[in-house]
Amino acid sequence: MTTNTQIKTTPCSDTFQRPTNPVVVHDVTMSSPLGDDVMQVAAAVRASISRFNESIFYNQKLSPIKMALVPDGALPPLDDELIQKGGITPWQKRLLRLATRPLTTLFEKQAGNGSLPLFLACPEKLPGRRFAISNNFLALLKMQTKQAIDIDNSYLFPFGRAAGLYALETAMLYVEKNPGSQVIVGGVDSYIDPYLLGTLAQDNRIAGAGVMDGFIPGEGAAFLLIGDASLTGDVSLSTGDASLSTGDASATATDKPRFVLHPPGIASEPGHRYSSEPYRGEGLANAVTSALDVKLSSKIDTIMISFNGENFFAKEWGVAAIRNASAFTAGPELLHPADCFGDAGAAFGPIAIGISIMGIHKKYLTSPALICCSSEMEQRAAVCLTVI
């Protein structure tokens, strides 16, 4: 492997070791079609507000494709140095711009803490389609944001929707090997690519006239600052809510909520969409079972899942729910926020964790929560979120 930018193609570390300790979430930043911070996004999802609009792209019937996009004017411009550099695809330029504001915000709030490793989820490589990112994407992101990303210890995870939890697993291993450290786990994705949209439309997978079993393409970026859960300290979320801020002088360290992510469950689905194997839903069921192998104070009533509107993924959740029924309440709340911001791809995991944290803090969601993610290919993942 190189020491510049490393693309992980394995579930976790090179030795397939699974983390044993949870981590605490110190901060969350994000940008999505619903807003540019976790409070705005969570509030919009709670209110069932959607941001679906006709795009400049057309399907094979010459009808505008509906998408959920961040307004172009809300995105920072591409850095002059990158413009002069050249050789960067329009798709990568969009990803870089999407990631800039939330990642910069996170680093600015941690001013003085030096460089931080970044474990970044990104679009997956699908059969017959081009790769969205190049091997030097993290270096490009560092040039774009001008932030202190520790490139040597940073990794890319090109696995789509489940990639954020794959990144989280490897980040947890890093924290275990480096006690007291803090790292960034994030995800960025976008469907703004004419070839990708064209092939999806040709396969009748994009929701629209005459396509009921389809999804709304979206985009977004989100980043989590995580650290050793065994250490005490304040949690400062970028929410604008003083009760979650280190600036809240009226609260003691023990009064402030500490949001904890437990080791995620990682599994493979042999019968994924692009496989000839039978689709039995084994992957997500095994991932959920693994994620639930932790001591929880109560049964799970909040489930955040990467459903995007296509029927394909319903079967595997049915299998997972039945096999793990004893861990859930009688009628758990099953949330699929893609109804509001479209399919956010690799950004979904970090966005869903942020929304869950805000919902638990505001007491309209309950802890523990379960976040479940399914990629187009074989990757499946789930993670438990609790508050202490």
pLDDT for the residue numbered 327: 96
Which tokens go with 273? 């969409």
User: How many angstroms separate the CA atoms of 45 and 325, rounded?
Assistant: 26
pLDDT, tens digit, 9 for 90 and up, residues 26-59: 999 999 999 999 999 999 999 999 999 999 999 8
pLDDT, tens digit, 9 for 90 and up, residues 128-178: 777 889 989 999 999 999 999 999 999 999 999 999 999 999 999 999 999
Which tokens go with 381? 């993942």
pLDDT for the residue numbered 140: 97
Phi, psi of 291, deg, nearest 5: -65, -30
Number of Cα atoms under 13 Å in the Cβ half of residue 291: 34
Which tokens go with 295? 């001591």
- pLDDT-flagged residues of the chain (< 50): 1-6, 8-15, 234-235, 239-254
Q: Domains of the chain, with CATH numbers?
A: 6-228 (3.40.47.10), 258-387 (3.40.47.10)
